[in-house]
Amino acid sequence: MTEFHLYMAQRLSALVMAPFVIVHIGVMIYAIQGGLSAAEILGRTQGSVFWFAFYGMFVIAVSIHASIGLRTILGEWAGLRGGMRDGASALIGLGLFALGAQAVWAVTA
C-alpha cells in the first residue's frame, strides 16, 4: 500500500460517503422531532435490508476513511513514523469496523 493508494482509498471512501452523510443528516433532523426513543429507531431499522446495506457500507467506508485520516494526524501532529504509525492506524480501522459492525447488527438484525 503506497501513499498514493492510501490517498485514492481516502478520496474514494469520501465519494462513497458523501450521499450517505447527506441522508444521515436528513434522517437525524427527521428522527429527533418529538425526541429519540429506542423503539422508534429500531422500528425503522430492524429487519430492513435497505438500512442494513446503507449503514453497513457507511461503516466500511468510514473505517477506511477515518483510519487513513488519523494516520496522517498521527504522523504530522504526534510524530509517529513507519511501522508504529501504520500499525496504529490499521488497529484503529479494524476497531472502528468491529464496533460499527456490531452497532449495525444491533439495530438492523
Which positions touch other proteins (CB under 8 A)?
2-4, 6-8, 11, 14-15, 18, 21-22, 24-26, 28-30, 32-33, 35-39, 41-42, 62, 66, 69-70, 72-73, 75-77, 92, 95-96, 99-100, 102-103, 105-107, 109
Q: How far is the CB of 57 from other proteins (least distance, A)?
A: 15
- Read off the C-alpha cell for 65: 476513511
Cβ closest to other proteins, residue 50 vs residue 77 = 77
Could you tell me the CA-to-CA distances from 81 to 2, 89, 92, 101, 107 in Å, in that order?
15, 11, 16, 29, 38
Q: Whose Cβ is closer to other proteins: residue 50's or residue 59's?
A: 59
Grid look-up 469496523 returns 97
DSSP 66-78: HHHHHHHHHHHHS
